[in-house]
Amino acid sequence: MDASSPATTNLELVTIGTELLLGFTVDTNSAHIGRVLSDRGIRITRRTAVSDDPAAIRDAIGAALARTGAVLTTGGLGPTRDDISRQVVAELLEMPLVFDESVWQALVQRFARLGRVPAETNRSQAMVPTGGTILSNRWGSAPGLWLESPRGLVIMLPGVPVEMRKLLEHEVAPRLADRSTGLVIRSATLRTTGVAESTLAERIGSLEDDLAPLGLAYLPGTAGVDLRLTAWQLPPGEADTRLREGVDRLGAVVGPCAYGEDEADLAAVLLDQLRAKGLHLAVAESCTGGLVAGRLTEIPGSSDVFLGGVVAYANQAKIDLLQVPPEVIVRQGAVSAETAEAMVRGVQARFGAEVAIAVTGIAGPDGGTPEKPVGTVWFAFAIGERVESVLGRFVGSRSEIRARAAQTALFGMLGRARGDRSP
């Protein structure tokens, strides 16, 4: 560490792009940057999104530098004409742009590997503020920039998610670590599903005070409520100890609705549980139409537990592929306990799986009736010879109903595989 570098503990994020404000792009970069930097003890104190307007970019970066002294920007480094942030920052920091032959050559070579030549518009990507450090981008055409000036530190990254992530990991995080105080901001999450936020808050009650100095946040989402504990700028050992203890105490009060910690995916938790018991899983899906299988196969290594699935969207497919008796569909309807149970037996037999899940329901927006409104979903679970069916009722858009139904299917199987009391 250069002894003259000031410690960086707070940083502001400025995201540049008219599209982000118009709302046609969801900003996933900011969350990623928040997680990566928090874990290195750097707190993002504010995030500002501005359009591709030079005055707004200048104002936002200038105010952030004045307030916090360190800014990370994303966006505005690409080859197209709406990308102007490089120039604005060069003027703001009084570090005039110069054409950098090494950046240009790297760009030419990158294009050559893809069998192409750079467009004339790419030349602007080789313009670098005088005195700035180039953060070499091996994953795309626009390099990042690390600019130290009397007004503070400005780090500029491209907005394309894969390039931003790689540069953050390989170029930015190590440089920031050199400027760290040694304290960290760390979080730990207990993930729950199937219980309302206010019910969790009642169960947790005064435990929240006991957990200080850890902060507790409730994060409701389609898949359930996450309970997040955060240690702010503590020594790493103390942060980890307090978080471990805090998660255990939270888990004890919230009960079996907690299915995992941190990034735990319910699908991965279920696969681990089944793997430990030597069980293999098959899935029959109607209204979720592949989402349950998609959740499972998203997990690397799922193939040793998950044998496969049938998306039996049409009734005829339920009959042909899953041996659902046609009279069950006629009499009870495709969305019924009987159909779900027949589907689960059918898919279990078809794949020779010890355990199986079936989902059939009405995701909407059409197809609801007074008796079976949109959001009505029947689940069936087979474990060996035993089959159980459960009715779920969900609210929200088609997409939310499908996502909640997929989560409930996985959670229902997990509870049964763990031997919890049936929910």
Which residues in the 38-67 window bind a copy of itself by CB under 8 A? Answer: 38, 43-51, 56, 60
Choosing from 88, 126, 128, 160, the residue that interacts with a copy of itself (CB under 8 A) is 160
26 binds a copy of itself (CB under 8 A): yes
**Binding track over 131-150 against a copy of itself, x by CB under 8 A:** ----------x---------
Of 422, 349, 340, 414, the C-alpha closest to 376 is 340
> Is the link from the previous residue into 79 a cis peptide, with omega within 30 of 0?
no
Q: Which two tokens stand for residue 174?
A: 């190590």
Choosing from 66, 112, 162, 253, the residue that interacts with a copy of itself (CB under 8 A) is 162
Q: Which two tokens stand for residue 11?
A: 């940083």
- Report the C-alpha gap between 310 and 114 in whole angstroms: 39
Of 95 and 291, the one with the shorter C-beta distance to a copy of itself is: 291
Choosing from 137, 187, 193, 408, the residue that interacts with a copy of itself (CB under 8 A) is 187
Choosing from 5, 105, 109, 121, the residue that interacts with a copy of itself (CB under 8 A) is 121
Which residues, including other chains, have CB under 8 Å from residue 300's CB and lie 6 or more apart?
none
| Interface region with a copy of itself, contact rule CB under 8 A, candidates 75-83, 235-243, 251-259, 414-422 | 75-83
Of 420, 416, 419, the C-alpha closest to 387 is 416
Cβ-contact 377, 335 below 8 angstroms? yes
- Report the C-alpha gap between 268 and 257 in whole angstroms: 16
Residue 297 CB-half CA count within 13 A: 10
Choosing from 199, 213, 369, 418, the residue that interacts with a copy of itself (CB under 8 A) is 199
206 binds a copy of itself (CB under 8 A): no
Q: What are phi and psi of 79, to 5 degrees?
A: -85, -10
Residues 383-402 that bind a copy of itself (CB under 8 A): 395-400, 402
Residues 227-246 that bind a copy of itself (CB under 8 A): 228, 230
Of 148 and 240, the one with the shorter C-beta distance to a copy of itself is: 240
Choosing from 73, 189, 389, 407, the residue that interacts with a copy of itself (CB under 8 A) is 189
How open is the CA angle 290-295-296, to the nearest 5 degrees?
100
Cβ-contact 361, 376 below 8 angstroms? yes
Residues 263-292 that bind a copy of itself (CB under 8 A): 283, 285, 287-292
Which residues, including other chains, have CB under 8 Å from residue 198's CB and lie 6 or more apart?
none
70 binds a copy of itself (CB under 8 A): no
Choosing from 34, 54, 62, 251, the residue that interacts with a copy of itself (CB under 8 A) is 34
Residues 295-324 that bind a copy of itself (CB under 8 A): 296-298, 300-303, 306-314, 316-317, 320-321
- Report the C-alpha gap between 379 and 407 in whole angstroms: 11
Of 71 and 283, the one with the shorter C-beta distance to a copy of itself is: 283
Distance in Å, CB of 338 to a copy of itself, minimum: 20
Q: Which two tokens stand for residue 267?
A: 């699908």
C-alpha dist (Å) from residue 284 to 200, 321, 381: 32, 10, 10
Distance in Å, CB of 342 to a copy of itself, minimum: 16
| Interface region with a copy of itself, contact rule CB under 8 A, candidates 171-179, 181-189, 236-244, 411-419 | 181-189
Choosing from 108, 201, 319, 383, the residue that interacts with a copy of itself (CB under 8 A) is 201
How many chain residues bind a copy of itself (CB under 8 A)?
106
Residues 343-372 that bind a copy of itself (CB under 8 A): 350-351, 364-366
Burial of 19 (0-12, 13-18, 19+ CB in 10 A): middle
Look at the chain and count its residues.
423
Of 287 and 382, the one with the shorter C-beta distance to a copy of itself is: 287
Of 235 and 308, the one with the shorter C-beta distance to a copy of itself is: 308
- Report the C-alpha gap between 274 and 381 in whole angstroms: 14
- Report the C-alpha gap between 260 and 317 in whole angstroms: 35
